Chains A and B, each alone.
Chain A
Amino acid sequence: MSKVIETSHLCRYFGEGELLVKALDDVSIDVEEGEFSAIIGPSGSGKSTLLHLIGGLDKPTHGEVILAGTNIESMTRSALSNFRRDHIGFVFQAYNLIPVLSTIENIEYVMLMQGVPSSERRKRVFEMLDILGLDGLGGRRPAQLSGGQQQRVAVARAMVSRPNIILADEPTANLDSKTGISLLDMMKDLNVRHGMTFIFSTHDQKIMDRARRLIHLRDGLIELDEQRKEFAA
Chain B
Amino acid sequence: MLVAKLAFRNIFRQRRRSLLTGLSMGGGYILLALTISLVEGSYNNIINIVTTDHTGHVQIHKENYLERPGIFKTLSRGSGIETLLANEPSVRSWAPRIYGVGLGYGDEKSAPLSIVGIDPVMERNTTSIFGKVREGNYFSDPVNSDGYYSVMIGYGVADMLKLSIGDEIVLISSGADGSIANDIYRVGALVGSRDSYEKMTVYLPLEAAQDFFSMKGKVHEYAVMTSHPSEAWKLTAVLSAIIDDPLVTVSPWQVVEATFYKSMEADKQGNKVTMGIVVFLICIGVLNTVLMSVLERTKEFGVMLAVGTNRLMVMAMIILEIVTLGLLSCAIGFLLSLPLLYWFTHVGITMPQPIDMGGVIYDTMVGEMGAAIFIIPVVIIVGSAAAVSFIPAIRAALITPLDALSDR
* Contact residues in B for A157 (Cβ distance below 8 Å): 307
* Contact residues in A for B407 (Cβ distance below 8 Å): 94
Distance (whole angstroms) from the CB of A217 to the closest CB of chain B = 18
Q: Does A113 contact B (CB under 8 A)?
A: yes
Name which of A81-89, A170-178, A179-187, A194-202 contacts chain B.
A81-89
* Contact residues in A for B313 (Cβ distance below 8 Å): 113
Are B402 and A110 neighbours in the complex by a CB distance under 8 Å?
no
Distance (whole angstroms) from the CB of A59 to the closest CB of chain B = 9
Q: Given B304, B309, B402, which contacts A57 in the complex, CB threshold below 8 Å?
A: B402
Q: Given A52, A78, A85, A100, which contacts B307 in the complex, CB threshold below 8 Å?
A: A85
Q: Is the interface of B mostly helix, strand, loop or mixed?
A: helix
Distance (whole angstroms) from the CB of A219 to the closest CB of chain B = 18
* Contact residues in A for B311 (Cβ distance below 8 Å): 77-78, 81
* Contact residues in A for B304 (Cβ distance below 8 Å): 98
* Contact residues in A for B347 (Cβ distance below 8 Å): none
Are A113 and B405 neighbours in the complex by a CB distance under 8 Å?
no
Are A110 and B308 neighbours in the complex by a CB distance under 8 Å?
yes
Distance (whole angstroms) from the CB of A99 to the closest CB of chain B = 7
Tally chain B residues at the interface, Cβ within 8 Å. 23
Q: Does B46 contact A (CB under 8 A)?
A: no
* Contact residues in B for A97 (Cβ distance below 8 Å): 303
Tally chain A residues at the interface, Cβ within 8 Å. 26
| A93 nearest in chain B by CB position | B405
Distance (whole angstroms) from the CB of B402 to the closest CB of chain A = 4
Contact mask A142-158 → B, CB, 8 Å, 1/0?
00000000000000010
Are B402 and A58 neighbours in the complex by a CB distance under 8 Å?
yes
Are A90 and B307 neighbours in the complex by a CB distance under 8 Å?
yes
Are A100 and B13 neighbours in the complex by a CB distance under 8 Å?
yes
* Alpha-carbon distance A86/B405, docked complex (angstroms): 21
Name which of B2-10, B155-163, B244-252, B376-384 contacts chain A.
B2-10
Q: Does B305 contact A (CB under 8 A)?
A: yes
Q: Does A192 contact B (CB under 8 A)?
A: no
Q: Does B300 contact A (CB under 8 A)?
A: yes
* Contact residues in B for A92 (Cβ distance below 8 Å): 303, 306, 405
| B302 nearest in chain A by CB position | A96
Q: Does A224 contact B (CB under 8 A)?
A: no
Q: Does B57 contact A (CB under 8 A)?
A: no
* Alpha-carbon distance A77/B397, docked complex (angstroms): 11
Are B405 and A94 neighbours in the complex by a CB distance under 8 Å?
yes
Contact mask A47-67 → B, CB, 8 Å, 1/0?
000001001011000000000
Q: Given B10, B306, B309, B310, which contacts A90 in the complex, CB threshold below 8 Å?
A: B306
* Contact residues in A for B199 (Cβ distance below 8 Å): none
* Alpha-carbon distance A171/B13, docked complex (angstroms): 29
Q: Does A75 contact B (CB under 8 A)?
A: no
* Alpha-carbon distance A81/B303, docked complex (angstroms): 12
| B398 nearest in chain A by CB position | A77
Q: For chain B, residues 170 to 225, give those with C-beta under 8 angstroms from any C-beta of chain A.
A: none
* Alpha-carbon distance A57/B2, docked complex (angstroms): 23
Q: Does A116 contact B (CB under 8 A)?
A: no
* Alpha-carbon distance A96/B402, docked complex (angstroms): 12
Are A81 and B305 neighbours in the complex by a CB distance under 8 Å?
yes
Q: Given A81, A82, A96, A110, which contacts B299 in the complex, CB threshold below 8 Å?
A: A96
The 10 A-B residue pairs with the shortest CB-CB distance in the complex, in nearest-first order? A85-B308, A100-B9, A96-B303, A58-B402, A57-B402, A84-B308, A57-B401, A112-B2, A81-B308, A110-B307
| Given A90-B306, A96-B302, A98-B300: 13 more A-B contacts, CB < 8 Å | A57-B401, A81-B309, A85-B308, A85-B309, A90-B307, A92-B306, A92-B405, A94-B407, A98-B6, A98-B303, A110-B307, A110-B308, A113-B308
Pull 25 A–B residue pairs with CB atoms less than 8 Å apart, ordered by A: A57-B306, A57-B402, A78-B310, A81-B308, A81-B311, A84-B307, A84-B308, A85-B307, A85-B309, A90-B306, A90-B307, A92-B306, A96-B299, A96-B302, A96-B303, A96-B306, A97-B303, A98-B6, A98-B300, A98-B303, A100-B6, A100-B13, A101-B9, A110-B307, A113-B308
